[in-house]
A and B are shown apart, each in its own frame.
Chain A
């Protein structure tokens, strides 16, 4: 079975540009999580969905960040406009309802904003 799929794997963009990160969770999983990893703060939860519905977006740093999950097999994280401090690795993860904490992570998208 394919794991969590993220695209692109690497993204380099200029400040002010729009960035869209994509995620395909594992089929049948109920939850989808978006995380950001930085050296200083480690892994931070940005937002998560249950059955495609956003449950908690309190980790989204600013209004420049938005996330959608239009169906059970696809989610996007958008940054508009991007800033250099958004440079990080962004992970998507998914899990079953009865083992929600045992999350399966994708390989991540390394975002560099110049």
Chain B
């Protein structure tokens, strides 16, 4: 049973426009969320995170929004650049002491069109 779902396997966006990647979760115990980015033939790299006490976290061109009532989070990239073309994984966890496990989604492949 997928507790973290990324329902869009792929997304294409024009360079300079906004990219919006979506993620849904089913486990109401999750309270900390992360996005990872993965280039071909490389491992994922941490991008940005958000705690459930916030509804928004921003880091440069990247902003993550969390809607706890809808169990939904999204990653916004503005403006999109060719180097943003990658697979993006959403991850979630219970951020309590003694729990170090991340549950990942299946990923969304983002292609930025020049």
Contact = CB atoms under 8 A, between A and B. Distances in A.
Interface of A: 4, 31, 35, 39-45, 48, 50, 55-56, 91, 93, 100-108
Contacts of B32: 101
B43 A91 contact: yes
A106 B100 CA distance: 18
A4, A42, A48, A104 interface centre (most CB from chain B within 10 Å): A42
Contacts of A45: 101-104
B46 A103 contact: yes
Given A42-B89, A43-B89, A105 B104 contact: no
Nearest to B32: A101
Nearest to B49: A101
Given A42-B107, A43-B89, A55 B100 contact: yes
Contacts of A93: 43
Interface of B: 2, 6, 32, 34, 41-46, 49, 89, 91, 93, 95, 100-107
A42 B104 contact: yes
B101 A107 contact: no
Contact of A100 (B45, B89, B100, B105): B100
A15 B2 CA distance: 28
A58 B20 CA distance: 33
Nearest to B38: A105
Given A41-B106, A42-B89, A43-B89, A105 B101 contact: no
24 contacts: A4-B43, A35-B104, A39-B106, A42-B105, A42-B107, A48-B100, A48-B101, A50-B100, A56-B100, A91-B43, A91-B44, A101-B32, A101-B91, A101-B93, A101-B95, A101-B100, A102-B34, A102-B46, A105-B42, A105-B43, A107-B42, A107-B43, A108-B41, A108-B42
